[in-house]
Structure 1
Amino acid sequence: MKLDSAGLEILSRRQCVTLLVSASIGRIVFTDRALPAVQPVGFVLDGEDIVIRTGIGSKLAAATSDAIVAFEADEFDPAARTGWSVTAVGPARAVREPVEIERLSGLPLRAWTRGGYDHFIVVRAEQITGRRLSPGPDGQGA
């Protein structure tokens, strides 16, 4: 097991993808009017691509089309002092092809809020990194 300078376990790409599959909510980081913005989103993986569904006129849809974005998902148990965090970085694109829209519509991606969600954003995860916090020998986190 490889540890970083803070004592957190460095996860392999494969471990990161497995953890992402287990999550349903993440955060997408994008640029909004030249400033960093973060928005929670529901997502699913399509292979290693991150698929998000949003409204076609949303700020997220406009800001992420053909942009480099970051995506983060995590899970923590404060009582046990355990958890993990995975970050992916890559280009985001709006899905415009009817055949791909139909295929992505079949993925188990449900909306968490009300409103129209007829627009898909796909993030190609070119870089995926992750860390895991595990209990130390004394039962405390690293």
Structure 2
Amino acid sequence: MTTAPQPISIMSEPECWDRLSSVGLGRLVTSVDGSPEIFPVNFVVQDRTVLFRTAEGTKLVSTAINDEVLFEADYHDDTEGWSVIVRGWTRVVRTDEDRTRAEAAPLRPWTVTAKDHFVRIRPSRVTGRRFAFGPDPVDRAPAS
């Protein structure tokens, strides 16, 4: 007898990094003037960090002034899905060596605006969950 997959399961950290590496759009969660803000960003995984590009503005400033940020990426199809959350801190790429590494990453702006700043999220914690989709397990038929 085969057992059905668990509807929710915890992913290991290596699996989280593998899944993050398979997608290119995520959400940066930070704080601006004491209020939470969320920014969609295209990104790549490089050396177990999350790397994205940005222009001057609120997103760049918020990554510089906040001690911690969250980053979330996910994926789903008709039968399954997953979600990974990275908790960490951001650093604008500044050294020549790190800038050279960042520029070598396959990360290009999606819009035709100049995004001259690379930002790297250094993780303090990486967690993820996998979801198996299926029918509602509770019979919701009205009682007779």
TM tier relative to shorter chain: 0.7 to 0.9
Pairwise mapping of residues 1-142 of structure 1 onto structure 2 (< 5 A)? 7-55=7-55, 57-65=56-64, 67=66, 68-77=68-77, 80-135=78-133, 139-140=134-135
Q: Cα RMSD over matched residues?
A: 1.7
- In the TM superposition, what is the alpha-carbon distance from 1:102 to its structure 2 partner? 1.9
Q: Which amino acid aligns with 2:113?
A: G
TM-score scaled by length of structure 1: 0.85
- In the TM superposition, what is the alpha-carbon distance from 1:117 to its structure 2 partner? 1.1
Distance 2:62 2:120 in 1: 13
Distance 1:140 1:81 in 2: 10
Checking the alignment, whether the CA contact within 8 Å between 1:51 and 1:120 is kept in structure 2 is yes
* Uncovered stretches (5+) of structure 2, i.e. residues with no partner: 1-5, 138-144
Distance 2:136 2:123 in 1: 29
Identical pairs, percent = 34
Checking the alignment, whether the CA contact within 8 Å between 1:65 and 1:121 is kept in structure 2 is no
Checking the alignment, whether the CA contact within 8 Å between 1:86 and 1:129 is kept in structure 2 is yes
TM-score scaled by length of structure 2: 0.84
* Uncovered stretches (5+) of structure 1, i.e. residues with no partner: none
Distance 1:114 1:36 in 2: 27
Distance 1:125 1:141 in 2: 36
Distance 2:99 2:136 in 1: 43
Change (3 A) 1:19 1:35: same
The SS at the match of 2:115 is coil
Change (3 A) 1:61 1:141: farther
- In the TM superposition, what is the alpha-carbon distance from 1:81 to its structure 2 partner? 4.1
- In the TM superposition, what is the alpha-carbon distance from 1:58 to its structure 2 partner? 1.9
- In the TM superposition, what is the alpha-carbon distance from 1:26 to its structure 2 partner? 0.3
- In the TM superposition, what is the alpha-carbon distance from 1:66 to its structure 2 partner? 5.3
Q: Which amino acid aligns with 1:120?
A: F
Distance 2:54 2:95 in 1: 16
The SS at the match of 2:73 is strand
The SS at the match of 1:65 is helix
Q: Which amino acid aligns with 1:100?
A: D
